Chain A
Amino acid sequence: MYESGGNLVHVYGQYSVGKASGEDLARAAVDCGGSVANAAMMVDGVGEVEEAGKLGEEGVDCLEEGGGADAPAPSLGILEGKSATVSQKGLDIVKAHLAQFGSFPENEAMIARLQAAMEAGERVSGADLSFYMHELAESTLMKGGMVYEDAHEAALAKYDVSRFSVYHPDVIAANPASFGDVWRNAWGLSR
């Protein structure tokens, strides 16, 4: 169900097939060149999950090859070596989604990183991309009625990423009380 492969089209396709509305598409958060039409193509073109990889190759270029890598790093799954731009819509979705859990410095720091990248016109990769995509997917799944626990796991599985990949090492290092040694070890950080 949560097989990886392909690229972003797969990610959105899993839960958008058959019920994506125009608003849903407009909310597609990764900026595929700035057009809703491109976002629509991502979803409309999916049809079946099995087609996702192929369709991804055909024209969905939201995630570009060559994203920067933080090494050593936990697995980034299908996001490995990829990068994406952050859209205002996407960032707003992430902010609104996280707001329901309360305000926490580690989340605020990750949002600040995404905001800074967007304002600088820079693509995000590595942990920033993992966090961004995770929150977008989790938000959409929960809006669709899935409980948090299931949505969280599904969002991780959707990208086949390590659960330790969703916070940038700088954020982990800056918030040592919020993360156990396993997180630091995953990123090669000293305690």
Chain B
Amino acid sequence: MIDLRIAPMGRARVWLQALPDCSYTANEVLERKVPVVGTAQASARRAAIEAFAPRGAYCPYGLLGAEFVPDLSGAMTIQVMISTGNLDVLQGVIPGTITDTVRRGLPSEYADSVFDGAIQGNLDAPLGSGVLQFNCAAHGEAGSSRRVFRQLSEVVTRLVGIDPSSVTMEQLLSLIDHKV
């Protein structure tokens, strides 16, 4: 896990080739297929980001992670695991999120935003043929929004495509800063 300060008073935590303990029961798995662009990754990849970005009267927050498994299907499949009902409060979040109540899971209201962000991220840095599954998420009752999850999804998709052995802190910051 990499802890980052993001402008202008925000924080982010990034996981590369790992996911935080943020499992939840999915009530539904939504799926979209998009045209394949680029060459598939050679191996499975996973990544997640948790971000908190104060704006004064409220504090955008979200945690999102995904796993990409390449295949030879010739299609890029995006899956989003949706959770409903009374979700568990997540402990151990970014300290700044004391300003919010953070719960495990991804409410359905953010599903389209996750798809939109993933599609954009895949256009910017194609993952190729395979399944990109968003199966790790937490949301703030006050701080999460469609914008937050669209941006996180785009970043996660880019992070999944990064080779964790060669990425620099500067690359991570440029990917994340001003995105959340």
Contacts and interface: CB of A to CB of B under 8 A. Distances in A.
Interface stretch (B30-38, B39-47, B83-91, B144-152): B144-152
Interface in A132-191: 134-135, 138, 148-149, 152-153, 163-164, 166-167, 176-183, 191
Interface in B124-152: 139, 141-142, 144-147, 150
B96 A107 contact: no
Contact of B57 (A149, A153, A167): A167
Given A148-B9, A176-B146, A101 B56 contact: yes
B138 to A, nearest CB: 13
Which residue of B55, B95, B113 has the most chain A CB atoms within 10 A of its CB atom?
B55
A104 B147 CA distance: 12
B99 interface: yes
Contacts of B147: 177-178
Contacts of B9: 100-101, 148
A182 B101 CA distance: 12
Nearest to A130: B57
Interface string B49-91: 0000011111110000000000000000000000000000000
Contacts of A181: 107, 109
Given A148-B96, A149-B95, A180-B144, A101 B54 contact: yes
B56 A97 contact: yes
B99 A101 contact: no
Interface residues of B, number: 27
Given A102-B55, A107-B55, A167-B57, A180 B145 contact: yes
A153 to B, nearest CB: 6
Interface string A87-116: 000000000011011101011001000000
A111 to B, nearest CB: 10
B98 interface: yes
A105 B98 CA distance: 24
Contact of A166 (B54, B57, B109, B150): B57
A184 to B, nearest CB: 10
Contacts of A12: none
A166 B95 CA distance: 22
A131 B109 CA distance: 26
B145 A178 contact: yes
B99 A149 contact: yes
Which residue of A106, A135, A163, A166 has the most chain B CB atoms within 10 A of its CB atom?
A163
B58 A138 contact: no
B98 A134 contact: no
Contacts of A149: 54, 59, 95-96, 98-99
B9 to A, nearest CB: 5
A110 B57 contact: yes
Q: Which 3 A/B pairs are nearest by Cβ-Cβ distance? A: A166-B57, A177-B147, A177-B146
24 contacts: A100-B9, A101-B9, A107-B55, A107-B56, A107-B57, A148-B9, A149-B54, A149-B96, A152-B99, A153-B99, A163-B100, A166-B58, A176-B146, A177-B113, A178-B60, A178-B146, A178-B147, A179-B145, A180-B107, A180-B139, A180-B146, A182-B141, A182-B142, A191-B109
